[in-house]
Amino acid sequence: MNIKLNDNFDNVKESYLFSEIAKRVNKYSAEHPEAKIIRLGIGDCTLPLTKTVIDAMHKAVDEMGVKETFRGYPPEYGYDFLREAISKYYASNGVDVAADEIFVSDGAKSDCGNIVDILGDNTILIPDPVYPVYMDSNIMSGRKIELISGNQENGFLPMPKGLEVKPYVIYICSPNNPTGATYNKEQLGEWIAFAKKSGSLIIFDSAYEAFIKGDYPHSIYAVEGARECVIEICSFSKMAGFTGTRCSWTVFPKELEVNGKSVQKMWARRQATKFNGVPYVIQRAAEAALSPEGVKEAMANIDYYMSNGKLIGELLKEKGVWFSGGVCSPYIWLKCPNNMKSWDFFDMLLEKVQVVGTPGAGFGDEGEGYFRLTSFGSREATIEAIERLKTIL
């Protein structure tokens, strides 16, 4: 063939982080079929969908089997019932987001990746370490990327102080994946002030907001001025166990404009062309997850996961291993013992105790020497992993 391919793909790593982990684990598993591997790598929920969600899904499935209530293509921006439920969820956190500013989608990952479609050739500012999708999707579209370091000194919460004042597209994830570090209102206020001063846009990933305990904003729109410079992406995946069910949303406030052009309208146009919406049954399930009963059940599951995190944290404290996270986040971010490199520690854990985690280096160069464990395992698996880790830490 003589066509041209997107050569920017030459600049991304050969495999996506979690695919690379799966590849290594599958290889080990094939070579050691007797090994009982405990997977605390990818942040994937293990508790089933809750009763309220399942009841709503069953009801919706039944509606799909009846001529009068059958639904065809869903609206590409989401059914009004779900957009309104999400708007009310914001209101329950004291934040004003109108239903028609909410665009329902099939995953925060999809929207994080697709958002580059509507943005021009800007300088992209990405914290390091962070969720790899921001970096990969911008490399794939040939954008110029600058990194801002998260490290132990700044508590893995890089701030804009010292940055050149020029327009960037800035990615922020809080509570952070992978470090669990969470910005408070003042710190987010500094980012917003910087965005306004520099004419930048912030893409705020709040996929882990439901894990927040204490006085941290659940949405960046709780901070004054955010509506003029932030797109917020959030998800049902970790909040309500929808990793396999797929539903999320992105907020485009009406105030977001560039030279009089509405960013919201551009996204609406993009979605209308490239996306056919989330299935009705799933949107009914998501609506149920935001009902008072649904939220109560989701919080009980989150508490369960957080207790796993606490147990992992206790082990690390006992062993004198530095770590962060596990407080407003399902992730425990630890410093590899004996200055080991992330992938070496990964291989050692896999070979010696058959526990899988995520190498910090996979989230950026600043993650080298760190390692992420998830608290999304079952209690039994987490306790067993702790017993095994005790023998080598």
Compute the chain's Rg from CA coordinates.
21
**Which residue, 216 or 376, is less far from ligand MLT as judged by CB?**
376
Helix, strand or coil, per DSSP, at residue 146: strand
Nearest approach in angstroms of CB 16 to ligand MLT is 9
How far apart are alpha carbons 344 and 1 in whole angstroms? 41
**Which residue, 218 or 227, is less far from ligand MLT as judged by CB?**
218
Site for ligand MLT contains 357 (CB under 6 A): no
335 phi, psi to nearest 5 deg: -85, 130
205 phi, psi to nearest 5 deg: -100, 110
Furthest-apart CA pair in the chain: how many Å? 65
**Which residue, 76 or 111, is less far from ligand MLT as judged by CB?**
111
**Which residue, 16 or 28, is less far from ligand MLT as judged by CB?**
16
Site for ligand MLT contains 12 (CB under 6 A): no
**Which residue, 79 or 305, is less far from ligand MLT as judged by CB?**
305
Output the six-digit token pair for 390.
């005790």
Q: Which stretch binds ligand MLT (CB under 6 A): 39-47, 183-191, 279-287, 344-352?
A: 39-47
**Which residue, 131 or 156, is less far from ligand MLT as judged by CB?**
131
Nearest approach in angstroms of CB 217 to ligand MLT is 21
**Which residue, 253 or 357, is less far from ligand MLT as judged by CB?**
357
Q: Which residue type does 368 have? A: E
**Which residue, 138 or 200, is less far from ligand MLT as judged by CB?**
138
Question: At CA 243, angle to CA 12 and CA 284, rounded to 5?
Answer: 130
Nearest approach in angstroms of CB 141 to ligand MLT is 19
Site for ligand MLT contains 375 (CB under 6 A): no
For residue 321, how many other CB atoms are within 10 A of its CB?
17
Q: Which stretch binds ligand MLT (CB under 6 A): 37-45, 76-84, 135-143, 322-330?
A: 37-45
**Which residue, 280 or 371, is less far from ligand MLT as judged by CB?**
371
Q: How far is CA 127 from the centre of its chain?
A: 14
Nearest approach in angstroms of CB 331 to ligand MLT is 8
How far apart are alpha carbons 5 and 19 in whole angstroms? 23
Site for ligand MLT contains 277 (CB under 6 A): no
The size of the chain, in residues, is 393
Output the six-digit token pair for 371.
């390692």
From residue 169 to residue 188, the character string flagging contacts with ligand MLT as x (rule: CB under 6 A) and all else as - is --------x-----------
Site for ligand MLT contains 42 (CB under 6 A): yes
Question: At CA 312, angle to CA 309 and CA 317, rounded to 5?
Answer: 120
From residue 106 to residue 135, the character string flagging contacts with ligand MLT as x (rule: CB under 6 A) and all else as - is ---x---------------------x----
**Which residue, 253 or 367, is less far from ligand MLT as judged by CB?**
367
**Which residue, 50 or 177, is less far from ligand MLT as judged by CB?**
177
Are the CB atoms for 258 and 294 separated by under 8 Å?
no
Site for ligand MLT contains 22 (CB under 6 A): no
Q: Give the interface size with ligand MLT as a residue count (CB under 6 A).
A: 6
Nearest approach in angstroms of CB 342 to ligand MLT is 14
Q: Which stretch binds ligand MLT (CB under 6 A): 25-33, 41-49, 193-201, 300-308?
A: 41-49
Site for ligand MLT contains 43 (CB under 6 A): yes
Measured at CB, which residue is nearest to ligand MLT? 43
Nearest approach in angstroms of CB 112 to ligand MLT is 9
How far apart are alpha carbons 289 and 113 in whole angstroms? 25
How far apart are alpha carbons 333 and 112 in whole angstroms? 23
How far apart are alpha carbons 381 and 373 in whole angstroms? 12
Site for ligand MLT contains 218 (CB under 6 A): no
Helix, strand or coil, per DSSP, at residue 204: strand
Helix, strand or coil, per DSSP, at residue 153: coil
Give the helix ranges, DSSP H, for the chain. Answer: 17-31, 51-64, 80-92, 108-114, 132-140, 185-198, 237-240, 263-274, 280-289, 292-318, 342-353, 379-390
How far apart are alpha carbons 261 and 325 in whole angstroms? 39
Which residues bind to ligand MLT, rule: CB under 6 A? Answer: 42-44, 109, 131, 177
